[in-house]
Amino acid sequence: MDRRPFIYKLLVCVSLIYVLYVLINNVVIDPGAEMFLSHKTSPGRELKPRIWLTVMYIHVGFACIAMASGLINFSTRSYEKRRSFHRVNGYVYVTSVLFAVLTSGYMAPYATGGKMSSIGFNLLNILWLVMTATALVHILKKRIPLHRRWMIRSYAFCFTNMLIHLLTLVFHQMIGLDYVTSYTLGLYSSIALLIIAPEVLFRMEANYREH
């Protein structure tokens, strides 16, 4: 039995539901991000809400495009039958990652949780850029299996925001820690999980091929 189609279908469902949730939450339910901003307690730097919001919307837009374009390029049909589309869509992904990282760079110093969270987000910025650039270099040198591996590693970071919010919910609502501590813990736990998850997937694939 080939497991990949199931994993891919699961990824499609989770990504679609999440992109819809992000758009509805940020455009309809809380367009001013008031809920999120209410947790920012006397930050070291003064946050300018209008500029922050504009940058946040650009960030969300490009993050959603990265999520969608990456997902499309993982479909077998995309890279086996429509190579030129795969290439153009791949550059859409890389450009979206670049803008999501640039906007994240602006927001990081104001992150909920102060300096600790800022460091975490800057670490994420570096990791996401390096993994995406490595995937690009591999395909420019026609190393397809390595390109695929690094793209999976890069794409995992599209789930950063979802994972941070899920884990914050666990630490805050289920364990009872205060919101800001939960957010910072959620951030660092997400970084660890997003690095580990692709390696687990590669191990599972290797085991499956052996048996």
**What residues make contact with ligand HEM under the rule CB under 6 A?**
22, 26, 33, 36, 56, 59-60, 63-64, 66-67, 100-101, 104, 107-108, 110-112, 117, 121, 124-125, 128, 157-158, 160-161
Of 111, 115, 94, 133, the closest CA to residue 40 belongs to 111
Query: 85 vs 99, which CB is nearer to ligand HEM?
Result: 99
Query: 40 vs 82, which CB is nearer to ligand HEM?
Result: 40
The 8-class DSSP code of residue 110 comes to G
Query: 13 vs 204, which CB is nearer to ligand HEM?
Result: 13
* Closest distance of CB 142 from ligand HEM, Å: 28
C-alpha separations of 103 from 10, 37, 184 in Å: 29, 17, 19
* Closest distance of CB 124 from ligand HEM, Å: 4
Which tokens is 21 given? 């949730």
* Closest distance of CB 167 from ligand HEM, Å: 12
The 8-class DSSP code of residue 175 comes to S
CA of residue 170 relative to chain centroid, distance: 19
* Closest distance of CB 103 from ligand HEM, Å: 8
Asked if residue 97 lies in contact with residue 128, where contact means CB atoms within 8 angstroms, the answer is yes
Which tokens is 106 given? 């602006």
